[in-house]
Structure 1
Amino acid sequence: MKKVYLGLLGFAMAGSVVAQQPRTESPAQEYGLREAAPVERVEKPVQSGQRDVLWSEDFADGFDGPNGTWTTAGANGDIWEYTTQIQAACWSGGADAAAQMSTRENGFMLFHADDFNCINPGPPQQFNQDPLAGELISPSIDLSDQPAVLLSFEHWFRHCCSAMFEVWVSVSNDGGATWTDYNVTGNTPANDYNENNLHSVNISAAAANQSDVLIKFVWNATGSSSHYFWAIDDITLEIPPDDDMALEGTPVYSIHDPTEDMWDNLEYSVYDINQVRPLVFSASASNVGATEQTGVFLEVVVSDGAGYETTLTSGSLNMPVGEIATFTLDPYTPPSTPGTYTVTYTINQDQEDANPGNNSATRTFAISDGEFARDGGALSAFVNLGLDEYWGGNGFYFTEAGSIHCIGGALFNDSEIGAFFDFELRAFSATGLDFVANTDLGTVTQSMLNGSGGNNFTYLWIETGAVPVFPGDEYVPMFHHFGGAEPVYVGINGTSPDFSSYVIAEFETQSCAPCYTTSTYMVRIGMSEEFCESMIEEVEEPNSVASLEKVSIYELFPNPTRGITTVEYSLLDNSRVVMFMFDMNGRIVYSNDLGVVGAGDYRHELNFSNLAAGTYTFSIKVNDKHETKQVMIR
């Protein structure tokens, strides 16, 4: 079954969902995503080495720098601004605290698409989705008699939400009549932040020995350009060292092609011990030095910190000045031993590198005796779709037979204590993302919640027992928000390739049944009883509302019923009372929030005549405890 569905065009849903829709028609975009707190960012030293600076700009004087005036162009060029702060706007909360440009205190240049399109950060949130285009252009620079030129600058960016969107730098040597474009994002995933604030690119081909050089920073107008920002500071033109290689973007440990239909090669953050599979390490590197580099190769070291270590290498090649190459290793299967594995990527060459600090990077993955996950494990944002019902989760591929015993997720701090939630297991069929099973009903407690960086996962048992899986099976575990007056927020961490994470929701103007998203839900699978038992805190029967003697609930009568039934209950204290009815798929089909009710005896007549015949579960919740009874409608 082709899992090709339209993406989410904007933070509120957009576009109808059509199976078999061409993959290139609609880039996915993030929806209802709010930063949980300032973005956690590991500070990295600027690796500029001992270079001879030919020209520099730190924007201390704004557009009117010491070398001349910077100008803007493009349909939205006036969005470029001189500032000392990245406003939170609708979707950039925490970005300012994480920006680490060396001289940011005296100001930097910013293209803030998020701020421009944000009408109201909410709630309720209002956000335009207008594609934007703007260019920031330097004054003319004389580089006569300079046989080699290295452009370096510090930047902090996030773009959304597809590979269709790019930002780049262009260089002209004829007053702007023609331009040479340079990729400056590496392979930073859409919907993610760049990892290092320093970027260097050898622009000798366009700028060396030229007397009228212009440098242009381009924010491109595509369907994905309405979101996030690009901050630029501390620009230098330097004489590059002879020998200097640099890693580009984020290296990977598994290569997934979104145009393929299977999820076997996704990057899973945690592999269940029985779902370990061959990994393919790959990284890109560029020659930013002044001379050709010979014998360039990628070295990968995998270690677990407990004695296991193995070293893998790619083939070698020679790289001319300015060339970017991607190195991919043969498949490697990690040991089936639980632990956290660190992957260190290093670019080596025959020559001694002048700046080895930008030649290495690390990634990590884990192997677990029972847990299977795709998220990064530290809550960085949360899904905020208001009070509407929705489902959200990630796709998983199974290489070996096993069983799914439980599903878990990380809940954000703002979730309502006492609110209901559950998880569902779904699978694609010819009709869509179909229901397979649901977990027990969960009730939010304080101990379940997470702030920024939290990794506290709440697991619930599959209600009808373990679901068997077989080699080649694919399932989507999903968090289920029932909707209503009590919100529950699930965390986000990571970026999902197109067509691998999904949301199901019905909104006033559009439908997602499902839509794909590039945000990775913090929703995980438990694949052993022992693991699930260790993660699930059993609720003893004495904790029910009846046994706590706060309320006495009697049988609904008549039961079975043809639609009209009566419930009687008695409260010993003033309590908030909410009534729910769930169908056999765990969906709320009736709810009635009675508010705070005083102590006493009560009788309520309930009309379920609009419900189809079948078996339902009636629940009456008193404060943060609930009691359930089965109801049969004829």
Structure 2
Amino acid sequence: MKQRLLTFIFLALAGLTASAQAIIWQEDFSKGMAGWSVNPIICGSNAGATFGNNSGPQYGIWTLASGVIDGEPVTLEPGDVFNWSFLNAKEYMVYFSSADLATYGTAYGTYSISGDTLTSSIDAAAVVPNGTAFTSVTTNGIVSWATNLNVDAVEDVIRFIGVGSPTVVFSNGSNNITYTADGGNVVLEFTKREECGTLWTWSPNGNLGYGLLGQNPGVAIVNSATRTNGVMVMNNIYQMTQGMTGVIPSPNPPPYPHYVSELISPPIDISATDRALSIRLTQFLAYLNTPAEVPNGLKTSFSVSTDDGATWSPASDLNPTFPTNTLRSNTVTVPILANYTNGASEIRIKLTFGTDFYFWGVDDITILERVGYDMQANASFFAIPDNVNTPYSQLQPQYFMADIQNNGGLTAENVNLNLRIVDFDGNEIFNLDKPYGAIPPDSLAENSFFDITMPLDLPATPASIGFYQGTYSLTHDSTDVNQANDTLRFAFSVTDTLFAKETGRTRGIFLTNDRDWYIGNSYYMPNGDGWYARYISFMIENADDAVMGTGSVTTYLYESDGDVNGDGRIGPDEYGGSPIAFNDYQFDGTENQQLITIPVSIEEEGIPLTSGKYYFAVVQYVGADANDQVAISASEAYNYAANNFITDSIAVEQYSDVVDLTADAPNFFSGGFGGTSVPVVRLFIGDNPDLGLPPVTAVNEVLPADFKVAVFPNPAAVSFNLDLQFPEQVDVLVRFYDQTGRILFTQNYDKLSQGRFNYDTTQLPNGTYFIQLDTAAGTRTEKVVVQH
């Protein structure tokens, strides 16, 4: 594979092939560094570093200024390159090329200097004039030297790449080098242009060289399709150690030496493209800390220039979210923002690597057209209802939005976002469109709401109880090549009595530096009058650890008007100074990741609610000492960030979770964990304050006395029977629920006049339950006690 610009004979058909990804340019480094340049920024000289400083007077990059070869003067023509670099006390590299790249060469080797005489590891007899030559010193392919040449006569070239014991004389404070070889037939004068060596080196076979603390990494290879043609490597470990473990002092606290260098491409012709572009490369990578000298805090980045390197675009991350101290061997493709290249016919690409420990090897760098049309509905920011479970009595209007963006290379026309919500039976209850018109490449349409005059407004009656599914669907005039990201789905339920932000744990929130905390969820009561908070449920990850410490948690219910002063905190003056109810729970160590339900009040009575108030259902843990740390269970399955934003903008602001890390009176952070993680803390309400009775008073007429209902045995150990004797046939809905109002099962019976039905209780905990019958003739509720 050769560095090349492709001619698009099919360009006339581009409008018909909008999903094609044409390759504009590729580089496989089969010509070594020909056409490329480097710009080192720092090479271990950062303040505080105690080793690995390669910025001394005899390190750097020197450029040929003049010379004489065989009595003939040598000068560089415009566009010609001839550079000599001492990277550190062991490595050097020479690279040269003519402006038209008809002649080029890259030579890498190790060296030593005794007096003024340089000794190189390059084997002159093995160097070839056209192609690559190198010697491996390990079975894994680590090389001691390598050359890549395209010259007329190899015997001429070897005289100025360090072989044959030339002399190297530093002068003018090492700003100048006089290089003399072949008994004085070659005299070259170089002028220093960089205080650091290239840091980037050319590897002939993809091997990154010596790894951590001088040990052979073995697998440190850029696993690219063309790695045997050569790759570019920046090995910071070797810059620190030169393969000697003793170079690093012990102890060796940070800061470690920083190494940052830019690798800059030759000009790239993009005049044939009709759309936005991407960059693709194959890499082998690991990094640690982030030096201050890297652009935008990015350890591996690229920038684009449209004026031959005079100015550069902001740096873009090639490895977002990649963790430290981790190896990565892969191929990445990253969009080049369209506004970085709009109107340009030629660009350069700059790769920057900056860190202390580890390395980056790159190969098969490709500039390619993006797919034509790829609209995306952003899964990280779309509105869902206030809660995943909301009691029917507390329903209020729900507003919607979703961020969308164009990842493709062409402008998408007539973009439309649709939201459709259906009930459990698939009946459509909501359908609304949000038109956007034309969306250019790399455009993000954010924070744009569906029509706020048409919210989802389910009636606050039992008729709304049920399960619902919502779907955001993104469409436009053209065929989208990645339809998987055009759709977002969510689900929610309307319940009898349950408030919840999640449907189960996905993780634990373990606050390693904070053993004391208040964590909970916020539930808003638009219609609180006449209703009562009855039970609170929560889940702990490591109850077995809790019993070794404090051994218990305290639950609280706070009533508030919200963040009245807008400071992002809800403090004592905004929740009345104290909770309106509390209770505690003592662990026995068996409750890991088990839902625990207790009365809201330690007095085991319902707490009256007020319309228009927020209620924070909160769990508090106070650690006995620094080692007493307990994690609350949480869920990342529902992201409330967009819901928090939209309600703050147009309605009553909704908070998802609240948190404060203290053992004192809490000053709740209203943003909680940003809406992306919510704790498993639930609240049950009802219109009955008596916890010994059903949570919701039946609104239907009581079933007449001649409709006989019997439950036996009661208490039940294994099962109980429901015996029905009715004077006429009626349809019967049977619902069985616990004290909190959580429905455990439902059953419909059609045209029933008599029957006996048996229900298993072996899996139910001891406690009080209720079985409710709803018919056209009336309603009956019977208490069932389970006692094993």
TM-score, normalisation: structure 1? 0.50
CA–CA separation in structure 2 for the residues paired with 1:77 and 1:515: 42
Q: What residue number does 1:151 align with?
A: 278
Q: What residue number does 1:606 align with?
A: none
Matched, 1:212 2:341: no
Matched, 1:330 2:458: no
CA–CA separation in structure 2 for the residues paired with 1:329 and 1:77: 55
CA–CA separation in structure 2 for the residues paired with 1:284 and 1:140: 35
CA–CA separation in structure 2 for the residues paired with 1:273 and 1:234: 59
CA contact (8 A) 2:571 2:667 kept: no
CA–CA separation in structure 2 for the residues paired with 1:199 and 1:151: 7
CA–CA separation in structure 1 for the residues paired with 2:406 and 2:533: 47
Alignment equivalent of 2:678, drawn from 520, 533, 552: 520
Q: What residue number does 1:501 align with?
A: 658
CA contact (8 A) 1:302 1:311 kept: yes
- Going from structure 1 to structure 2, the CA distance change for 1:172 and 1:396 (only over 3 Å counts) comes to farther
CA contact (8 A) 1:369 1:531 kept: no
Q: What residue number does 1:413 align with?
A: 542
What amino acid is the match of 1:468? P
**Of 406-415 and 329-338, the range deviating more from structure 2:** 329-338
Q: CA deviation at 1:390?
A: 2.8
CA contact (8 A) 1:245 1:286 kept: yes
- Going from structure 1 to structure 2, the CA distance change for 1:496 and 1:299 (only over 3 Å counts) comes to closer
Q: CA deviation at 1:461?
A: 0.3
- Going from structure 1 to structure 2, the CA distance change for 1:437 and 1:330 (only over 3 Å counts) comes to same
CA contact (8 A) 1:150 1:237 kept: yes
CA-to-aligned-CA distance 1:85-115 (integer Å, 9 cap, x gap): xxxxxxxxxxxxxxxxx99xx9xx9xxxxxx
Q: What residue number does 1:314 align with?
A: 434
Q: What residue number does 2:7 align with?
A: none
What amino acid is the match of 1:295? N
Q: How does 1:530-609 map to 2 (within 5 A)?
A: 532-533=739-740
- Going from structure 1 to structure 2, the CA distance change for 1:525 and 1:357 (only over 3 Å counts) comes to same
- Going from structure 1 to structure 2, the CA distance change for 1:390 and 1:328 (only over 3 Å counts) comes to closer
Q: What residue number does 1:396 align with?
A: 523
Q: What residue number does 1:140 align with?
A: 265
Q: CA deviation at 1:346?
A: 1.8
- Going from structure 1 to structure 2, the CA distance change for 1:322 and 1:533 (only over 3 Å counts) comes to closer
Matched, 1:444 2:583: no
CA–CA separation in structure 1 for the residues paired with 2:589 and 2:336: 53
CA contact (8 A) 1:150 1:288 kept: no
What amino acid is the match of 2:634? I
TM-score, normalisation: structure 2? 0.42
The Cα RMSD (Å) is 5.5
Matched, 1:360 2:487: yes
CA contact (8 A) 1:382 1:491 kept: yes
**Equivalent position SS for 1:525:** strand
What amino acid is the match of 1:502? V
**Equivalent position SS for 2:740:** helix
Q: What residue number does 2:393 align with?
A: 274
Q: What residue number does 2:291 align with?
A: none
CA–CA separation in structure 2 for the residues paired with 1:182 and 1:297: 32
CA–CA separation in structure 2 for the residues paired with 1:279 and 1:77: 58
Q: What residue number does 1:244 align with?
A: 374
**Equivalent position SS for 2:484:** helix
CA–CA separation in structure 2 for the residues paired with 1:421 and 1:408: 12
Total equivalences in the alignment? 403
Matched, 1:480 2:620: yes
CA–CA separation in structure 2 for the residues paired with 1:174 and 1:521: 52
Over alpha carbons, which structure has the higher Rg?
Answer: 2
- Going from structure 1 to structure 2, the CA distance change for 1:526 and 1:169 (only over 3 Å counts) comes to farther
What amino acid is the match of 1:297? N
Q: CA deviation at 1:282?
A: 1.5
CA–CA separation in structure 2 for the residues paired with 1:458 and 1:57: 60
Q: CA deviation at 1:316?
A: 4.0
CA contact (8 A) 2:19 2:373 kept: no
Q: How does 1:215-234 map to 2 (within 5 A)?
A: none
Q: How does 1:175-190 map to 2 (within 5 A)?
A: 177-181=310-314
CA-to-aligned-CA distance 1:250-309 (integer Å, 9 cap, x gap): 24225xxxxxxxxxxx84333232222222222222334444332111012223443233
Q: What residue number does 1:45 align with?
A: none
CA–CA separation in structure 2 for the residues paired with 1:520 and 1:532: 25
Which ranges in structure 1 are unaligned for 5 or more consecutive residues? 1-47, 83-101, 110-127, 156-164, 189-196, 220-231, 255-265, 451-455, 541-634
- Going from structure 1 to structure 2, the CA distance change for 1:366 and 1:137 (only over 3 Å counts) comes to farther
CA contact (8 A) 2:25 2:366 kept: yes
**Of 69-78 and 512-521, the range deviating more from structure 2:** 69-78
Which ranges in structure 2 are unaligned for 5 or more consecutive residues? 1-17, 47-205, 207-222, 228-232, 234-252, 284-295, 322-330, 355-361, 561-569, 645-654, 687-694, 696-736, 745-763, 768-788
CA contact (8 A) 1:245 1:359 kept: yes
The share of aligned pairs that are identical, in percent, is: 16
